[in-house]
Each structure stands twice: as structure tokens, then as C-alpha cells.
Amino acid sequence: DLGADLAVLQWTVNAYMLTLAGLILLGGSLGDRFGRRRVFVTGVVWFAAASLLCGLAPDAGVLIAARALQGVGGALLTPGSLALIQASFHEDDRARAVGLWSGFGGVGAAIGPFVGGWLVDGPGWRWVFLLNVPLALVCVPVALRHVPESRDEAAHGRFDVLGAVLGAAALALVTYALIGSAWWAGAAGVVVGACFVGVERRRGEAAMVPPSIFRSKTFTAVNLVTLCVYAAFGGFFFLAALQLQVVSGYSALAAGTALLPTTVLMLLLSAKSGELGERIGPRIPLTAGPLLCAAGMLLMLRVGEDASYVRDVLPALLVLGLGMTALVAPLTATVLASVDVSRAGLASGINNAAARAAGLLAVAALPMLAGMGPEAYRSAAEFGETFRRAMPMCAGVLVAGA
């Protein structure tokens, strides 16, 4: 409807991811300081308002700008939701609660293509965004009525606004360089990123990303795993739905429906996965999960023009779904267990920032690395060839993360 090429499609995804990744740490700090429920509810309202603007966007430029505003709302609500769970549940019940949180988060990501496909084929793509408004109208009163307020009483001092601006600017410049092939933006992004690191080190415990939190080897290692895992997920889900539509000839609804097995597996098994991770420790799930996901992505290489859903698509998605189920809940629980509960908002913010930044950079870089041209998604042969180059890259990143 808006005459978008591949670069516009990338920016439609990345505008949201950019502000989310750049500001999610600030969102976690705001929740710790002013109350996690308050900031969460503010984020839900902001997200709904930005979604309304997305749904009413008259052109691609307005849509991209509204997506960036949507990311601000996401940065407020995402770390608060997990920190509220950490503060509200007893230690014995926390693993199951985090497992459910992770499962529903994964379900939301996986079911998105199905709901989006149904809306695109039915009332239109604008309802992908407009649907968030009534959901927010339900979420806000439930949160105010049933979720207790919590905050970090030790939080004090000024907010690290400069750190937030530098971090977001570095991500924006690198993303622009990857999508637009602008070397100067990449160089500027590296310089700004170095300035961000310098500012954070100088501010110490008052920084948006306090260096002391990385003294935990577990916290550092799990965030490195997060970078690898969510880079692969970001690239895969961006390209897989397009592969099914452009190459295999699926409608938007059929492509979304085809991805549902991952949703079903995560919905059914994520809580158990969280409990299992607590019982046997995180090492096995955090090793087996990425390897299973990598195997699932490699199986997607069988999906071409004449692909059978039962023979080619379904086995790949079942293996991928099992890997995601084994991985996501223990990964999140390990992040929170590696820090004191008073730093839950900060820890979840850093981990979510790592995940969103990884997905952002993957969506920006993967088409370029796979040699995908700006009009590739209009040609089945060209898109299929680049998809076959991209999947082993995603699998390789997962193996590195394991």
C-alpha cells in the first residue's frame, strides 16, 4: 500500500527496535526509581498511543516515525514487567513465573506473523497496530488493580541521560550504515560507541550501565549468549515469513499460520522449561537450546518453491520451537539470578537491550551479508538464493552462542 522497498521494510522493523534498545536501560532505571508498576502502565499507554498513530499513518515516513515512538513505550514497559515478577513472587515460585513470562513473550513474537497475516489478508495491515489500543485498555486497569508497586529504595542521583543518548545514537548510526551502505555512518557509530563506553566508566555506579554489574561472570556470559541468540532469531523471523510468501507462494495468513508450531510449543512447555532449568542448572538448556535452534534453521533450507508443509516446513519449526522453549526461560531466569533483587530492573533492562540491539543489527546486516538487493523480495529466485545464504549464517551465530 505504501510502495515500500526492502530498505523501508527494514526501517519499519528497526525504527521500533532502535528506540527500544537505546532507551530500555533508562526505562529500567526509571522503574527502579519511581515505581515499576507506574512506569509499566505509562509505557502501556504510550505504546497504545503510538500504535494508534501507526495505524493512521498516511505514508511510510510517518509510519517509521510512529514505530520509533512505539519503541519508547516498549522501553518503558518491557523491563518493568520482568522486574515486577522478580519483586512480587516468592523465590520458590519465581522460576515458574519467569518461565511463564518468557513463554508468553515468545508466544507473542511467534504468533505475531499469524495474527498479522490474518489482519493483512482481512481488515488490512493498519489493524496490526490498531489492535494494540483495546489490548491496552484491558491491560492498564488489570495492572493498577492486581499488580503491587515496587521500587529500589536505594536508587538515587541523576539519570544518565547522556549515556542513553550516546547509546541510542551509536546504534542508530551503525544501523543506518548497514542498511544504507554508508561507511561514514559506521565510523561515526564506532566513535560514538566509544564515547558511550567512556562516559559509563567515568560515571561509575551512577551510569546507565554500571560497570560493576559485569563483575558477575554469569551475568556477562549470559548476555553474550543473548546477543548471539537474539541476533539469529531477529534475522530468522524477518526472513522466514517472507520466504514462505515470496518463494513458496503462501498468502500472508498462510505464512503466519505456518509459523504457529513454535508458538504452541512455547505456550505449552515454557513454564516447565523454567522449572527444569532451576532444577538442573542453566548450562545444559543454554547449550542444547541454541544447538536445536540452529538445527531448525538449517532444516529451513529445504523450504523452496515446491516445499511441502508437512515434509519440509513443519519439522524445521518443531525443532526450532523445542530449542526456543528449552532456551528462553532459563536464559531469562539466569540473568535475574545473577544479580541482587534490588537490581532486577537494571539487569532485565541490560539483557533486554542486548536482545533488542542484537535483533536490530541482524535485521540491518543480514540482508547485506547475504547479498540481498533492495527489490529482492519481489523476485522468488533472487530472494530464495539469498535466504539459502542467510540461514547458515543465523545457525552459525547460534552455535557460537552455545
Give the pLDDT confidence of 156-210 residue by residue, as tens digits. Answer: 667 778 888 888 888 888 887 877 667 788 889 899 989 988 988 888 877 778 8
Confidence of residue 23 (pLDDT cuts 50, 70, 90): confident
pLDDT of residue 266: 78
pLDDT of residue 113: 65
CB 77 within 8 A of CB 214: no
Distance CA 72, CA 24 (A): 8
User: How far is residue 367 CA from its own chain's centroid?
Assistant: 18
CA dihedral 215, 216, 218, 223 (to 10 degrees): -60
pTM of the predicted structure, to 2 decimals: 0.77
What's the sign of the alpha-carbon dihedral 80, 394, 288, 218? negative
Average pLDDT over residues 109-133: 75
pLDDT of residue 96: 65
What's the sign of the alpha-carbon dihedral 179, 183, 188, 189? positive
The type of residue at 232 is: A
The type of residue at 201 is: R
Report whether pLDDT(345) > 80.
Answer: no
CB 342 within 8 A of CB 213: no
Cβ-Cβ contacts under 8 Å for 378 (sequence gap 6 or more): 246
